[in-house]
């Protein structure tokens, strides 16, 4: 995990969890069952709060990021509040309807 976001990088990632409810044969990081949600959430808050305002993109990923429940939506809100012009990419197998 990066310790800081970079303005023009395509690899600014918010890693939400190693847990996943899929078992894709091509997975390069097979899911783990672990309670890493709070740790990752705290790390992600630091990344968002220290990010340059002109970061082009942020990717929210895991594992399956929606397994973080309310904290998944809080992360999206935090990115939008702190980085209003930044594109948010979400790597998920769940369907997310537009808000």
Q: Per-residue x/- mask for ligand SF4, residues 10 to 49, rule CB under 6 A?
A: ----------x-xxx--x---x------------------
Q: Are 58 and 11 contacting, i.e. CB atoms less than 8 angstroms apart?
A: no
Cα separation, 95 vs 97, in Å, equals 6
Minimum CB separation of residue 40 from ligand SF4 in Å reads 14
Smaller CB separation from ligand SF4, 11 or 23: 23
Cα separation, 1 vs 77, in Å, equals 21
Q: Per-residue x/- mask for ligand SF4, residues 77 to 96, rule CB under 6 A?
A: ----------------x---
Q: Per-residue x/- mask for ligand SF4, residues 52 to 81, rule CB under 6 A?
A: ----------xxx-----------------
Q: Among the residues of 2-98, which ranges form H helices? A: 37-49, 70-82
The CA dihedral of 36, 40, 42, 44, to the nearest 10 degrees, is: -170
Provide the binding-site residues for ligand SF4, judged by CB under 6 A. Answer: 20, 22-24, 27, 31, 62-64, 93
């Amino acid at each position: 995990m990066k310790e800081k976001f970079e303005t023009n990088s395509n690899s600014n990632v918010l890693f939400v969890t190693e847990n996943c409810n899929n078992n894709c044969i091509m997975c390069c990081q097979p899911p783990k069952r672990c309670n890493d949600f709070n740790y990752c959430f705290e790390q992600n808050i630091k990344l968002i709060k220290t990010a340059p305002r002109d970061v082009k993109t942020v990717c929210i990923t895991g594992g399956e990021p929606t397994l973080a429940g309310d904290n998944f939506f809080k992360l999206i809100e935090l990115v939008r509040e702190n980085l209003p012009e930044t594109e948010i990419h979400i790597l998920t197998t769940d369907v997310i309807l537009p808000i």
